[in-house]
Amino acid sequence: MLAPFSPVEIGFYDSDKAIERLSDLVSCKDNILLLASERRINECGLADFLYDIKKSKNLVHLSRIASNPSIRDVYECLKLLNGTNPDVIIALGGGSCIDLAKAIVALYGIIPDDELSKQSVRSAIKNKDYLSKHEHADIIALPTTSGTGSEVTKWATVWDMDHKEKLSIDSPNLFPKAALLVPEFTFSMPLRLTLATGLDALSHAMEAFWARSRNPLSQALAISAIEHIKEYLPKVMRDGRNLHFRQGMSLASLVAGLAFSITRTTACHSISYPLTLLFGVEHGFATALTLLQVAERNRAVVPEIDRIYSVFGSKEGFSKWVKDITQPVLELRLATFGIKETDLDAILDKTFTQGRMDNNPISFTPEEVRDILHNVL
């Protein structure tokens, strides 16, 4: 299935059919890079497939996948791949794994071997050197979480931990060739990760709905995703091995990904980046913390935001739903993550991300962002 605005082949499969389709996709490729932990390979039943692939293909397997890929992670992968020239990358994992695959596709071969360093990787990303690259390996994404939507977007996040900066790689060449969605592959997600990724999908959908770049298609997709999340996230939190519930969340994440692949994200994501960079707040929690605060301010110019609230019965119903869904795991407030009033200046200093904050339908001043953060302390 190809969406009219997406070049990604999208399919839902059981594990056996997914492996069959994966075999077809790599059959004409010679040099394969696999990004997947050993645990993921065993959990997803890919060991026999890989054993067979090794008989006829050149397979390189990188098994160390960071939860938030950094400049160092990308540099180390490029160094390990010296001379291998992969023509397809299989990314089996969450959004971080798929983002790492995109970073490799973007940067492999554009930095001379004798110049490869963390600094040259940083410069290539910041200067967008990858946009001049002509040949790109295919990416086949097999998500094992339900939240990021990275399997259907053309950008990747890379974290510069040395400079405390969030970087983005953005190119139409980074759309995966195929996204193979296997709800069974998400069974092993623990409760906290299920919640965090589900809230990430909710943030993508809500921000796509009100983004400055919104259109009727992005809004229709966003509402569909929100409806699925409202129904299935509480259910999958109670029964994480229910295939129907996991399928509902896989679909919600996908549709939210398609929605914000049209629009990009807005203020909630922009505010979230320093929360992750400076305090290690999981991305889904960091984005969801400010959803209601931002929604209420945006409602002045996007009155259709009431459609989001109507999914939950009312604005108060939305607030209660978020509280009810998060309470068994954590209280969704900044203080839960050790953030204090005295930390707000450091957060504000890194809050205004170009392409995210300016995609919000209204402009926020630093004082308004401080007020938003103060309200969720």
Cα 106–chain centre separation: 17
Query: What's the rounded mean pLDDT across residues 133-138?
Result: 93
Q: 289 and 173 share a domain? A: no
Least confident of 1-15, 57-71, 217-231, 357-371: 1-15
User: Does residue 2 belong to any structural domain of this protein?
Assistant: no
Rounded distance between C-alpha atoms, residue 33 and residue 31, angstroms: 7
In this predicted structure, what is the pLDDT of residue 1?
Answer: 57
Q: 208 and 123 share a domain? A: no
Domain that holds residue 57: 9-184
Least confident of 1-10, 16-25, 164-173, 207-216: 1-10
User: Which amino acid type is present at position 269?
Assistant: H
DSSP 62: E
Which secondary structure element, helix H or strand E, spans residue 286, and what is its range? helix 283-288
Domain boundary among 184, 217, 249: 184
Q: 282 and 164 share a domain? A: no
Rounded distance between C-alpha atoms, residue 145 and residue 304, angstroms: 30
Q: 245 and 352 share a domain? A: yes
Q: 166 and 285 share a domain? A: no
Does this model's pTM top 0.85? My answer is yes
DSSP 363: P
Listed residue (256, 252, 205, 210) closest to 229, CA to CA: 252
Q: 249 and 357 share a domain? A: yes
User: Does residue 73 belong to any structural domain of this protein?
Assistant: yes
Q: Which residue has the tokens 């953005």?
A: 170
Q: 260 and 342 share a domain? A: yes
CATH number at residue 130: 3.40.50.1970
State how many domains the chain has. Answer: 2
In this predicted structure, what is the pLDDT of residue 155?
Answer: 94
Domain boundary among 149, 184, 219: 184
User: Does residue 152 belong to any structural domain of this protein?
Assistant: yes
In this predicted structure, what is the pLDDT of residue 66?
Answer: 87
Q: 68 and 83 share a domain? A: yes
Q: 220 and 351 share a domain? A: yes
Query: What's the rounded mean pLDDT across residues 343-370?
Result: 95
Listed residue (120, 142, 144, 200) closest to 22, CA to CA: 142
In this predicted structure, what is the pLDDT of residue 5?
Answer: 72
Q: What is the DSSP string of 128-167?
A: TGGGG-----EEEEEESSSS--GGG-SEEEEEETTTTEEE
Rounded distance between C-alpha atoms, residue 149 and residue 261, angstroms: 9
Phi, psi of 50 (to 5 degrees): -70, -35
Q: 217 and 360 share a domain? A: yes
Q: 155 and 202 share a domain? A: no
User: Does residue 107 belong to any structural domain of this protein?
Assistant: yes
Residue 4 pLDDT class (50, 70, 90 cuts): low
- Tokens at 201, concatenated: 């999908």
Domain boundary among 127, 149, 184: 184
Q: 178 and 196 share a domain? A: no
Rounded distance between C-alpha atoms, residue 1 and residue 3, angstroms: 7
Digit-coded pLDDT (tens) for 225-271: 999 999 999 999 999 999 999 999 999 999 999 999 999 999 999 99
Torsion of CA 292, 293, 298, 304, to 10 degrees: 20
Pairing type for strands 58-62 and 31-35 reads parallel
User: Does residue 342 belong to any structural domain of this protein?
Assistant: yes
